[in-house]
Amino acid sequence: MLITIKYFGQIAEVTQKEEESLEFSGALISELLEQLYKKYALLGNKDFKVAQNQELVTFETPVSGNEIALLPPFAGG
Amino acid sequence: MADKKIKNVFRQGAISSGFIGESIHKHQTKTSIGAHNIFLGQVRADVIDDKTVTAIEYTAYEDMANAKFHDIREAAFEKFELTCMHIYHSLGTVKAGEICLFVFVSSPRRKVVFEALEFIVEAIKADVPVFGKEIFEDESHQWKKNT
């Protein structure tokens, strides 16, 4: 399936883009991340959480096809 | 009174003292209120490795952040007897010494507003996807992380 991934803050610095669409044939968020680690070598060193459909999810969550976002540490306030 | 509609909490740039003063003024017609409490987050000129932070550039996952602010608002109204609550957060560049977060809670009684304000500010720090790029005087940067 074609999924849209959003990148923010220092993650967007690594990917050099804020959003992209990728073809993904796996099942879990962890498999999607493996695909991204291959594409972006520096991503593995970064601290981030994953949101799917605007809710934080674990890496063992199935990819639903909704919007995925990679969120670096929060710094509000 | 809880408001079910998701509001846009974000404002471009710093939150001015005029805006904050005007917000206080607007509440003078709400005479059931006996106590307000206000939190103002201010950008600190931290010195890191001999370099001074001159500004923070804020970005956010805006849709998720506004939904989280909404959840925090609902939770606070559920937990505390509040008359009203307002939250504003900056996006874009906020210079050291300027205000980037304005949280304003009001209640008939004082004890409630102390507890409610802390609850809300701590939830914002922990749960809302806002990102801060600390800009140094030499234009290099590092990424802020809430602790």
- Which residues, at least 6 apart from B140, have a Cβ–Cβ distance to it below 8 Å? B51
- B49, two tokens: 């490795």
Considering only CB atoms, which chain A residues are within 8 Å of B62?
Answer: none
* Interface predicted TM-score of the whole assembly (ipTM), two decimals: 0.94
What is the model's pLDDT at position B3? 53
Please tell me the predicted confidence (pLDDT) of residue B51: 96
In this predicted structure, what is the pLDDT of residue B43?
97
pLDDT digits (tens, 9 = 90+) for A36-46: 999 999 999 99
**What confidence tens digit (pLDDT) does each residue in B84-95 have?**
999 999 999 999
Q: At how many degrees (to 10) do helices B110-127 and B62-79 cross?
A: 150
**Chain-chain contact of A8 with B59 (C-beta, under 8 angstroms):** yes
Which structural domains are found in chain B, ordered by start?
A: 11-143 (3.90.1170.40)
Q: What is the pLDDT of residue B1?
A: 46
Res. A3: pLDDT tops 90: yes
pLDDT classification of B108: cutoffs 50, 70, 90:
very high
Indicate the residue of B61, B121, B127 with minimum beta-carbon distance to A8: B61
Structure tokens at A25: 């044939």
CB B86 within 8 A of CB B97: no
Residue of A nearest to B144 (CA): A75
pLDDT tens profile B46-101: 999 999 999 999 999 999 999 999 999 999 999 999 999 999 999 999 999 999 99
Measured between CB atoms, which of B63, B67, B125 is closest to A76?
B125
User: CATH fold of A2-66, please?
Assistant: Ubiquitin-like (UB roll) (3.10.20)
Nearest Cα residue to A46 out of A4, A7, A76, A20: A7
Domain boundaries, chain A: 2-66
Q: Does A74 touch chain B (CB under 8 A)?
A: yes
Q: What is the pTM of this model?
A: 0.93
Distance from CA of B64 to the nearest CA of A (A): 5
